[in-house]
Structure 1
Amino acid sequence: MGIKTGRKYAITWCKKAENYSSVRALKCYDEAIKRDPEFAEPWYGKGKIFRYSQTWMWDDEISPYIAGMAKPRRYEKFTGPIANKYVETLKCFDKATELDPKFVNAWFAKGNFYWKHDDDGKAINCLDEAIALDSKFEPAWFVKAQVLDFLGRLEEALKCYDKATALLPTDAKEKRYDEHGRYYFFDRWYGKAYLLSELGRHEEALKCYDKALEICPLRAELLERPLSKKGITLAKLGRHEEALKCYDEAIALLPRENDYRRSKLDPVEMDLAKADALSELGKQYEKMLKCYSDAISRCAKELVDGKMEGDLWKEGVKKLQEICSQAINGSKKYDSKIIDE
């Protein structure tokens, strides 16, 4: 007796795939395709597994699956051909949009994939397809905003951020991130705030940073970015006391020595920002000097560690010179504040 074919049987296998990960899920999607070769959903499902697989999983589990070979035993490495992740993933998303040109999730996944692989033009085309099919599909507006921002098309990017933030779900704080692109919801407000600040619209940026912090999950590696940038924006508005509080909160979240977590914050930037704020306020001289000294020390350490060579080393030296100049100017400004008083 042959296998039962038809859409309903394919859907059953797709639902079954949701209970598994990696190869077991992929095999469920393969069963779905056997039962309905014209069904786009299993191709989309396979593409997502390929897209989000970590290197070890791709090399030792998915590559053997694609090659039709047995996966290696535990603690052993796969010695067969390693599949091209970009090609295989795109093949799945292409098939999904080919079979169902109105499949919004597949167009978004494809656009997001292109964006992560630096193909900005194709990313925008796919995201536009998703938006044309569903103008309320928020993740597509957000990713399009990021692409346009990266390309320097700031006003267009801002319009997309406006759309994304307007379409955020009411329970964004509880949900934390969208299920399609796996992007945190607070990043919509953070991205918009950063862009507004770049455009010199600091008061508006400040409101957006507050919105970002309002829905940001209480995790150090997430909170440190909006806190630090809010501080920098406050400083641009001359509100240095408030800026200092933000810097202190952000610095308190930085990983300590031997902490496994890597921070996205530049500690040199934070030291300089804090020192500049103290300089502007004309207070806590010793603390100001320590912040400038810490920034100089961190930058110099990168040079003497021997990890920089050639042009990178020259850039490091230039950065150190700029930091030293900034420290001297900050110290002079502090002195002038004291004299004026």
Structure 2
Amino acid sequence: MHLSQNEDDNFSLTKFESMLKTNDVLFFDSNEFEAIIFHYLESGKFALAKKAVKLGLEQHPHASVLQLFKVEILIFENKLTEADSLLNSLHDLEPSNEEVYIQKANIFSKRDNHKMAIQTLETALDFAPDAAEIYSLIAMEYMFMEDYDNAKYNFMKCLELEEEDFAALYNIIYCFDFLEQHQEAIDYLNMFLNKHPYCEVAWLQIGKEYFNLKDYEKALTAFDFAIISDEYFVGAYMEKGKVLEKLKRHQEAIENYMVTLELDDPMAYAYLRIGKCYEKLKLQKEALAFYEKAVDEDPLLDKAWIAITDFHLRKLDYQNALYYINKAISIDSENVLYWKRYAKINNRLNFVEEAEKGYRKTLELGNYELETWITRCDLLINLGEYETALDVLFQAIEFYPDTAEIEYRVAGLYFSLNEGEKGYYHLRRALKIDVEYSIIVEELFPMIFRRNSVQNLIEKYSQ
């Protein structure tokens, strides 16, 4: 009975794995070994692939394809010198084997010599029966060099030869987007669609480009064509929902997001967007229900936790808001926006130490807004940590020199630390900048504000 290729490969795999279990040595022809190794590499079973290469070369020491698999494994293990040596031997035997040049280019690329990798791949084009793959590899080398124009050109060559290579199409648009050439991307996609009018991926991409240009009506039309081309195209319904949100057609957006849930496994992001739409429609109960579905579906979706946080913030329910912002921070502790919310919520709850910690973390993560510096300083004043508050203000001065809000606080802190000379110096600086902000001293340092000398100085600059 003649076996199909797939059945043949499965038989070889079963036979090979049985051999490994029993330690018997069975014979396989080189084609069988090729299929076995390819299967293991595709499945990510690297150790089994390596074992198959070793056994294959023991039985077929001169099989060039098996030697090339060995090269691939050596490169993966970063044994580049050994791989290079083996490739040189193979090149002497088969100078027109394009795979030798591809692996040689891979070594150059691993060594960050992308120009030589490109030159080697261009040589491979002379021998390759399928040039599309080579153009794609050349394009990736240009991507490593951040030469997006040449990367784009080579992905286009790849797509000309392999018109259903959607990975190449996505990469072309990625290059256009990186170069901020949105109109050029639209022109290219229109040209492509003239040849392939029912390519749903191209319609999706052109819709995204119109979305980037804020031309929402044209984006909507493009996504409709993507759906006409493939009524089961989940991505098109998702993108159409986003456009409808921008057009404030929230009920229609919900309907499109609902379609994605019917066509595919439930997605937390779709639940999140539906919740946002319901909130815009002022259907609070439904909004919260879908936010909760989002976190149930994907507990690591921090944006969903934030959506629930903001939902409770808008209702002034700070206790619940604090619970959910802590959830978001536990997922992404380096997100400055989360720490800002954490600080503000704790401040509203009068949890001064926690609020100060939040603003401190916000500054550590690079949020240098004036309000952040000042609010943290005021919390430290509230905690009686005057010297730390001064340190914070002097850091703020580097970003905001000659700022009245800072100088008044510095003056008040020096007075509080019984360093009157420095206090008067900074009070004068503050008054020169803006006398009306002297109310800061009255609010934060009322005892100092009532001093006659301070009152006289303020009166002098007010006249």
Q: TM-score, normalised by structure 2?
A: 0.38
TM superposition score normalised by structure 1: 0.49
Q: Which has the higher contact order (CA 8 A, sep 6+)?
A: 1
Which of these two proteins has the greater Rg computed from alpha carbons? 2
